[in-house]
Amino acid sequence: MTTLCSKLHVVGLFSFIFSCSLLAAASAASLKVGFYAQICPSAETIVRKTVNEAVWRNPGMAAGLIRMHFHDCFVRGCDASVLLKSLPGNPPAERDNPANNPSLRGFEVIDEAKARIEALCPGTVSCADIIAFAARDSAYTAGGIYYAVPSGRRDGRVSLSDEVLQNLPAPFFNATQLAQSFARKGMSVDEMVTLSGAHSIGVAHCSSFSNRLYSFNATHPQDPSLDPNYAAFLKTRCPPPPVGAVGDVKTTVPLDIVTPNRLDNKYYSELRRHRGLLTSDQTLMDSGSTSGMVVQNERNGAGWVRKFARAMVHMGSLDVLTETQGEIRRICSVLN
Ligand code: HEM
Ligand SMILES: *[C@@H]1O[C@H](CO)[C@@H](O)[C@H](O)[C@H]1NC(C)=O
Ligand SMILES: *[C@@H]1O[C@H](CO)[C@@H](O)[C@H](O)[C@H]1NC(C)=O
């Protein structure tokens, strides 16, 4: 695809962008629901069973797997690059970027599903598809949200830690920066607000938000957009970091304190009460456009569920590899 795009470049910038986006769309369109129906009919069932067992043992796993799909898709497309382990003598892989290590969880669930699938259909089902199925099954167990996942993704052969922070939005971003980060992936502001609803489950480490408690800015040590009672509670969980340090990297706090293990639209009610945990959550109330979407998602739970499902499918189609691109990894954490 790179060569084709650069050849087209000579035709002019407009047709360059146009043709390349057509190509990207064509490759996303070639994902299809039921891709494994003939070649590995039990693939999706095996993933679902593996996810259900893992979530039953640890409800937080659902959150981990949904986040894993996001971190995979925003960095080099949904190609399972997030699963590759760093190799000695090579630049570190995505998995070892501080945005993923140590907080990203669920690797062993993907490995287990992959091993079970390999035993039945060797070399057939990509790790990238397994992540997409696992995120969907997690949304179902944690929120009763169901959607069909188009599949046929292939696994990438490149994973670079350096690419992570250039592509993933940071927890201290404001609404404008979040919108820009999603726009770079071709995703809308409404999709950004809708998918932020994933923070209705799971946890964050104190280090991801303790600046809001102790070192917000020169005049306000505490973020005034944070409900004072909620801030007082958070301070009991996250003690002040030593001067110059980022904060406790071990302790975690639920992203949504009312229904921490239920993927639902209560997250949006909490934002209205100034109980968004990350700056990137509470900032959605800052501007008229995004706060309107928050209110809408809070009032219309069924509408949010439909948008969430659609946005997950869209996110799952970002920059995918298909057909003869990439490979089908035999072990998700290492190249073939
Ligand atoms: C809008 C921009 C986003 C930012 C800035 C962001 C940032 C973060 C941060 C900092 C954490 C906590 C990490 C830690 O301290 O352990 C987190 C957790 C989480 N994020 Fe996001 N995120 C965003 C969007 C998303 C999206 C689009 C999804 C999925 C669709 C998602 C799913 C999750 C989940 C489920 C957790 C909890 C993970 C767990 O408990 O293991 N996030 N996010
Ligand atoms: C958001 O952050 C950017 C970069 O720091 C800044 O230029 C912009 O003014 C901020 N926007 C708002 C609305 O605060
Ligand atoms: C600190 O933040 C508050 C609230 O956002 C703001 O009103 C104030 O101007 C900021 N102060 C500085 C020095 O940036």
Half-sphere exposure of 42 (CA within 13 A, CB side): 12
Residue whose token pair is 């040590």: 221
pLDDT in tens, the chain (336 residues): 333 333 333 333 333 334 444 444 444 558 999 999 999 999 999 999 999 999 999 999 999 999 999 999 999 999 999 999 999 999 999 999 999 999 999 999 999 999 999 999 999 999 999 999 999 999 999 999 999 999 999 999 999 999 999 999 999 999 999 999 999 999 999 999 999 999 999 999 999 999 999 999 999 999 999 999 999 999 999 999 887 787 788 899 999 999 999 999 999 999 999 999 999 999 999 988 899 999 999 999 999 999 999 999 999 999 999 999 999 999 999 999
Residue 220 class from Cβ within 10 Å (0-12 exposed, 13-18 middle, 19+ buried)?
A: exposed
Backbone angles phi, psi at 333, to 5 degrees: -90, -5
pLDDT tens-digit map of 277-295: 999 999 999 988 899 999 9
Alpha helix locations (H) across the chain? 2-9, 13-29, 43-57, 60-74, 107-120, 127-143, 164-167, 175-183, 189-196, 211-214, 228-237, 266-272, 279-282, 288-299, 301-315
Distance CA 268, CA 242 (A): 33
Q: Is the peptide bond before 102 cis (omega within 30 degrees of 0)?
A: yes
Distance CA 260, CA 234 (A): 15
- Supply the residues annotated as catalytic: 71
Give the closest residue (by CA) to ligand 3 atom 14. 217
Which mutation among 173, 174, 282 tests ligand 2's pocket best, with the greatest number of atoms within 8 A of CB? Answer: 174
Distance CA 221, CA 235 (A): 12
Residues 289 and 185 sit within 8 Å (Cβ to Cβ): no
The response to whether residue 220 sits with its C-beta less than 6 Å from ligand 3 reads: yes
> Which ligand sits nearest to residue 172's alpha carbon?
1
Q: Which atom of ligand 2 is nearest to the CA of 286?
A: 13
DSSP letter at 321 equals: B
